[in-house]
């Protein structure tokens, strides 16, 4: 028995309806965070480098200051209260992350460029213990500290309340009030982008 011929036009309608349904489900499952929503509404500047997406949040649209802290790979206690009033760069990473290894020299170079400018760098290692983090520091010449956050997750949770912290590396620039002023998802891709973000936030009044 031969089957009736199918209409190509009907096939296209069926495929189109299926794609629309999938898109609707995806959009409903991924509500935009405030920063992304503001960007989509024209309130933010964003651009894409080779492997990263950068979002700059205007001062009037920033969320609450982030209070965070913990213990570094060297056993030192750290609190964000210690750096309030200065600009800070917070980088989420772990040693086995390929893009984290790729960007490590650029992060250190940016830190060296700005450490005399009332700027602080602090890493947040989300997977490793202290010995692994220290071995990474030695291999890549990292001189700024990192919080060892694998066990508690407290630092990551503190930031997740105000901004997405997706797969590492994610780098945040905090303004002088401790609010997230910019976000880079993916490796920082050189010194210039992060350095420009830092300089822009440094120019702001506290």
Q: Which domains does the chain have, with CATH numbers?
A: 34-202 (3.40.30.10)
Residue 187: its pLDDT value, please? Answer: 95
State the pLDDT at residue 165. Answer: 84
Residue 52 pLDDT: 58
Residue ranges of the chain with per-residue pLDDT less than 70: 1-52, 206
Report pLDDT for 128: 98
User: pTM for the full model?
Assistant: 0.76
Tens digits of per-residue pLDDT, 153-162? 999 999 999 9
DSSP class per residue in the chain: -PPPPPPHHHHHHHHHHHHHHHHHHHHHHSPPPHHHHHHHTT-SEEEE-SS-EEEE--GGG--PPPP-EEEBTTS-EEEGGGTTTSEEEEEEE-TT-HHHHHHHHHHHHHHHHHTTTTEEEEEEESS--HHHHHHHHHHHT--S-EEE-TTT-HHHHHHHTTS---SSPEEEEE-TTS-EEEEEES---SSHHHHHHHHHHHTS--
Residue-level pLDDT at 164? 83
């Amino acid at each position: 028995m031969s089957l009736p011929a199918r209409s190509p036009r009907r096939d296209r309608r069926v495929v189109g309806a299926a794609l629309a349904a999938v898109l609707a489900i995806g959009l409903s499952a991924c509500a935009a965070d405030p920063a992304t929503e503001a960007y989509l509404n024209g309130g933010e500047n964003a651009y894409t480098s080779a492997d990263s997406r950068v979002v700059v949040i205007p001062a009037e649209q920033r969320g609450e200051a982030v209070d965070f802290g913990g213990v570094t790979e060297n056993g030192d206690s750290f609190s964000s209260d210690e750096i309030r009033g200065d600009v800070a760069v917070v980088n989420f990473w772990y040693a086995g992350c390929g893009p984290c290894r790729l960007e490590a020299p650029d992060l250190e170079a940016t830190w060296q460029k700005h450490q005399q400018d009332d700027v602080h760098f602090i890493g947040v290692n989300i997977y490793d213990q202290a010995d692994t983090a220290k071995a990474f520091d030695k291999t890549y010449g990292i001189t700024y500290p990192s919080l060892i956050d694998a066990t508690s997750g407290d630092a990551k949770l503190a930031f997740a309340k105000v901004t997405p912290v997706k797969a590492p590396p994610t780098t945040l620039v905090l303004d002088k009030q401790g609010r997230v002023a910019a976000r880079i998802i993916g490796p920082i891709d050189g010194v210039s982008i992060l350095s420009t973000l830092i300089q822009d936030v440094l120019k702001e009044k506290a």
